[in-house]
């Protein structure tokens, strides 16, 4: 089964580097590679050591012939030991470097440039464990060998504990729900690989150099083969290892898919808008419904005017209704026009409060009787087009208010919050509406999709908002739970005058 572990790790290693070619992916590639190098040395060493029962051979190699082939490979014990040393001492430093690159905590990111100095201890250990150097240094010096074994293990433990601590601090610092969920998968992937690495990193490669000597056994009394382990121990160990690798493989694959999800969605939405004849059909159908509604109201007005004594109150009501329909149609035509025309956006450094305040003014012009709950936790600068960004925020506020009124007419609640999160300045709009089902969540950004009455809503609002946010190099995300409400997140890249 150790063979299966190696195959799984190789698949993960190749998949990640092919899918996502960024710094994190290359670090993950290095992490998997160091793990594989270490395990190749261990598995060949175990095969050469022999002395296992039939059941132990099955759980280690699956097929006896595999052990035989590995046993007679023309590789010296010195080379095997150095392979294990390379994997053992490069894994923890790559893990720590990866964790540091993931972190957006300012105090941790400031120390990222110092990571290059941590290469020096790794180089030291690789020089020390080079077979010729190792034998010259430790020959006859048992106490020195024991000290170096403990020091090496302390160094590895320090790197691993530091890396896990950094990852957990980053996880705790994340407040946006979808970011927290996605980063949870990342942590699980690294924990699963690290746990399996930890099962073997407690051993020292010196034992491979001294397989036929007594020095190492005199110091530690244990070996990679753990010959005293029972058959059930081998079963538990290997099954545990495969479980960790499968979990890690799924986690890594899930993470890389998440990172590409926004890009795929953008292409899909553009394709839907550009090629779908349904969009034009919906547009024409909506226009027809609006005109039919106008004709019905107009007909009622004519009938009232033909009466000897027209009911003026009814007439005024129908007139107001006709005016509302006309204004609604003009408003939605303008919305549709804005969503399809190629407007230029002029991005400049502005305070996040500027588009927020402009959006609130527009909202209060439409709903003067309602006050949005505003909490500006940050007023930092962003690179934005004030008019376009305010339109996007206004659209989200309007959608949130209408959803909240529909669910709780007397207790409608809409909140607008700005805050800083990792590399983003976030504008969040919350409502206590009915929320959205998973099916609707997958469609709300589609052009011409709406869950409301199509006579008055043509489903272009959120598509327009997404286009605006994309033009700001940001992203628009949504969290919604049925019967609880919806949270809309505008994530804008942080702006620095020094960049």
**String of DSSP letters for 134-146:** HHHHHTT-HHHHH
Q: Within a 10 A sphere around the Cβ of 353, how many other Cβ atoms?
A: 15
Q: How many Å apart are CA 103 and CA 132, to the nearest integer?
A: 40
Q: Rounded CA gap, 276 and 449, in Å? A: 12
Extract the tokens encoding 368: 């003067």
Residue with tokens 């729900």: 177
pTM above 0.85, yes or no: no
Range 322-350 burial, b when 16+ CB lie within 10 A, else e: beebeeebeebeebbeebbeeeeeebeeb
Radius of gyration for the alpha carbons in the chain, expressed in angstroms and rounded = 32
DSSP 113: G
Would you say the C-alpha torsion 380, 383, 386, 389 has a positive or negative sign? negative
What pLDDT does 57 receive?
Answer: 65
CB-CB contact of 238 with 59 (8 Å): yes
CB 212 within 8 A of CB 202: no
Cβ-contact 401, 368 below 8 angstroms:
no
DSSP one-letter code for 446: S
pLDDT string in tens for the chain (499-residue length)? 566 666 776 776 677 667 666 677 788 888 888 988 998 888 888 888 765 656 656 666 767 777 778 888 888 888 999 999 999 999 999 999 999 988 887 788 788 888 888 899 999 999 999 999 998 888 778 788 888 989 999 999 999 999 999 999 988 888 888 778 778 877 877 887 888 788 788 888 888 887 665 555 444 545 666 544 565 665 665 566 566 656 655 555 555 444 444 544 554 445 444 544 444 544 555 566 667 677 877 888 888 888 888 888 888 888 888 887 777 677 666 655 555 554 567 888 999 999 999 999 988 888 888 889 999 998 899 999 898 899 899 989 988 998 898 888 778 899 999 998 877 899 999 999 888 877 777 667 665 555 554 444 444 568 778 888 888 888 888 888 888 899 999 999 887 765 4
What is the per-residue pLDDT for 276?
Answer: 44
What is the four-CA torsion angle of 193, 196, 198, 199, rounded to 10 degrees? 180
d(CA 177, CA 159): 29
Question: What is the pLDDT at residue 267?
Answer: 47
Farthest CA pair distance, the chain: 123
Pairing of strands 373-376, 414-421: parallel
**Structure confidence at residue 283 (pLDDT):** 54
Which among 240, 244, 243 is positioned nearest to 194, based on CA atoms?
Answer: 244
> Minimal CA–CA distance to 418: which of 465, 378, 452?
378
């Amino acid at each position: 089964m150790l063979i299966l572990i190696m195959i799984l790790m190789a698949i993960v290693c190749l998949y990640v580097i092919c899918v996502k070619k960024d710094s994190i992916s290359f670090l993950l590639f290095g992490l998997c590679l160091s793990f594989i190098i270490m395990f190749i040395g261990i598995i060949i060493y175990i095969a050469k050591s022999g002395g296992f029962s039939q059941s132990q051979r099955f759980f280690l190699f699956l097929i006896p012939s595999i052990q035989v082939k590995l046993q007679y490979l023309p590789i010296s014990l010195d080379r095997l030991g150095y392979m294990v040393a390379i994997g053992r001492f490069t894994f923890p430093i790559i893990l720590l470097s990866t964790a540091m690159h993931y972190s957006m905590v300012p105090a941790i990111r400031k120390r990222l440039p110092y990571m290059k100095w941590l290469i020096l201890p790794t180089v030291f250990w690789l020089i020390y464990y080079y077979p010729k150097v190792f034998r010259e240094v430790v020959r006859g010096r048992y106490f020195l060998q024991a000290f170096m074994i403990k020091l090496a293990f302390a160094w590895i433990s320090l790197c691993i504990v530091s890396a896990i601590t950094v990852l957990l601090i980053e996880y705790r610092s994340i407040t946006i729900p979808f970011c927290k969920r996605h980063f949870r998968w990342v942590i699980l992937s690294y924990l699963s690989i690290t746990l399996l690495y930890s099962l073997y990193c407690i051993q020292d490669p010196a034992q491979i150099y001294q397989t036929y000597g007594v020095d190492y056994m005199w110091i530690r009394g244990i070996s990679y083969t753990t010959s005293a382990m029972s058959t059930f121990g081998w079963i538990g160990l290997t099954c545990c290892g495969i479980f960790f690798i499968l979990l890690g493989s799924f986690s890594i694959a899930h993470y890389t898919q998440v990172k590409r999800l926004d890009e795929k969605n953008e292409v899909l939405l553009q394709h839907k808008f550009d090629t779908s004849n349904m969009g034009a059909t919906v547009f024409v159908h909506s226009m027809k419904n609006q005109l039919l509604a106008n004709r019905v109201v107009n007909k009622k007005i004519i009938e009232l005017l033909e009466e000897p004594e027209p009911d003026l109150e009814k007439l005024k009501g129908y007139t107001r209704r006709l005016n509302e329909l006309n204004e609604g149609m003009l408003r939605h035509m303008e919305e549709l026009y804005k969503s399809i025309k190629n407007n230029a956006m002029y991005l400049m450094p502005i305070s996040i409060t500027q588009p927020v305040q402009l959006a609130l003014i527009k909202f209060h012009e439409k709903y003067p009787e309602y006050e949005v709950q505003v909490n500006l936790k940050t007023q930092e600068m962003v690179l934005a087009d004030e008019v376009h960004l305010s339109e996007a925020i206004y659209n989200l506020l309007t959608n949130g208010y209408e959803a909240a009124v529909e669910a709780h007419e007397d207790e409608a609640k809409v909140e607008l919050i700005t805050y800083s999160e990792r590399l983003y300045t976030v504008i969040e709009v919350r409502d206590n509406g009915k929320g959205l089902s998973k099916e609707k969540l997958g469609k709300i950004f589609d052009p011409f999709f709406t869950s409301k009455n199509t006579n008055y809503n043509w489903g272009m609002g959120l598509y327009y908002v997404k286009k605006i946010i994309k033009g700001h190099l940001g992203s628009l995300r949504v969290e919604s739970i049925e019967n609880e409400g919806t949270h809309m997140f505008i994530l804008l890249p942080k702006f620095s005058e020094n960049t």
